[in-house]
């Protein structure tokens, strides 16, 4: 009896301290709607994990089910079997993907920051034209630049190399835009005070600009990782040796040129989870930085 009274007292204390008591009916309704929308947006994540655990008799059931009825790890066993029979080990594909994604994140972030800083804080002739050109490139579809990219990579002699994977990704207009908008928030007086104290432009860039812009840098890192991790273009166009191709390319070959549409679908479902988990982890770790960046970049 005494335990029940203590529990009720704690519950009443929580109700008095809860912020819900200070909200009106509209705010409470808005919270309920946002929770329902959040649950709806989580359905694709729930589906991809449940789909990988479905046996074959549930993979092709109609109408399809979101939740698995009988959990099975047969799909992952099939993926391991297919990978073990491949001429190139699956570990090689995964290693290539991690090296490519890590290198792309590092170099894209550096290039975007070094491009955004002078555009934002230095005055030079043609400054607005340069920034407008960068924004204009956002209008081009990736397919329109495939031939120029191939010619550049071929003439540079970096086919079948990690540089051939990373170099085509270095130009990231959205990264320059986000960093430029973020650096615009920095007061010019802070940079002038550093110059008066004798700091060089490199010191200002590394010790003042980059630390303050870490939320934008983290956002660019997430976008770059997601793009490079799921990219098959460089493996298809620039890599002739299978040992230099990445994991998304291996995933695309699981059900390619098969005599029917049923074979290896379980392995493809398991591989989709393997592809998705790194993206999910990276986003969950840095999602707070993404929200901060959007709040300071003028994007609503």
Q: What is the DSSP string of 207-241?
A: IIIHHHTHHHHHHHHHHHHHHHHT--HHHHHH--S
Which of 4-18, 76-90, 157-171, 253-267 is predicted least confidently? 4-18
Tokens of 254: 């699981």
Residue with tokens 């770790």: 285
Report the predicted TM-score, pTM, of the whole model to 2 decimal places: 0.77
pLDDT in tens, 100-134: 999 999 999 999 999 999 998 888 888 888 888 88
Q: Three-class SS of residue 16?
A: helix
Structural domain boundaries of the chain?
Answer: 2-72, 88-296
pLDDT in tens, 182-202: 888 888 888 888 888 888 888
Q: What is the DSSP letter of 1?
A: -
pLDDT score at 258? 52
Band of pLDDT at residue 298, cut at 50, 70 and 90: very low
Provide the CATH number for the domain formed by 88-296 in this structure: 1.10.3720.10
Picking from 228, 81, 112, 98, the residue whose alpha carbon sits closest to that of residue 169 is 228
């Amino acid at each position: 009896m005494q335990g029940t009274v203590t529990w009720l007292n704690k519950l009443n204390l929580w109700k008095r301290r809860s912020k819900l008591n200070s909200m009106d009916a509209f705010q409470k309704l808005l919270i309920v709607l946002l929770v329902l929308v959040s649950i709806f947006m989580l359905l694709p994540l729930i589906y991809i994990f449940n789909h990988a655990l479905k046996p074959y008799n549930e993979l092709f059931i109609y109408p399809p089910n979101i939740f698995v009825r009988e959990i099975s790890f047969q799909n992952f066993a099939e993926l391991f079997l297919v990978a073990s029979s491949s001429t190139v080990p699956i570990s090689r594909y995964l290693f290539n993907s991690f090296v490519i994604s890590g290198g792309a994140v590092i170099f894209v972030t550096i290039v975007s920051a070094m491009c955004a800083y002078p555009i934002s804080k230095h005055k030079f002739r043609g400054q607005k034209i340069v920034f407008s050109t960068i924004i204009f490139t956002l209008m081009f579809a990736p397919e329109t630049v495939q031939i120029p990219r191939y010619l550049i990579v071929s003439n540079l002699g970096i086919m079948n190399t990690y540089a051939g994977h990373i170099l085509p990704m270095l130009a990231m207009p959205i990264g320059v835009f986000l960093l430029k908008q973020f650096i615009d928030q920095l007061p010019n007086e802070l940079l002038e005070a550093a110059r008066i104290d004798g700091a060089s432009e490199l010191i200002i860039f590394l010790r003042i600009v980059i630390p303050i812009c870490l939320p934008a840098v983290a956002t660019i890192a997430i976008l770059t990782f997601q793009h490079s991790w799921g990219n098959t273009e460089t493996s298809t166009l620039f890599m002739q040796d299978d040992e230099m191709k990445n994991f998304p390319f291996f995933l695309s070959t699981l059900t390619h040129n098969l005599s029917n549409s049923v074979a290896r679908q379980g392995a493809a479902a398991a591989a989709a989870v393997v592809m998705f988990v790194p993206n999910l982890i990276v986003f969950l770790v840095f999602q707070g930085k993404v929200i901060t960046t959007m709040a300071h970049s003028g994007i609503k």
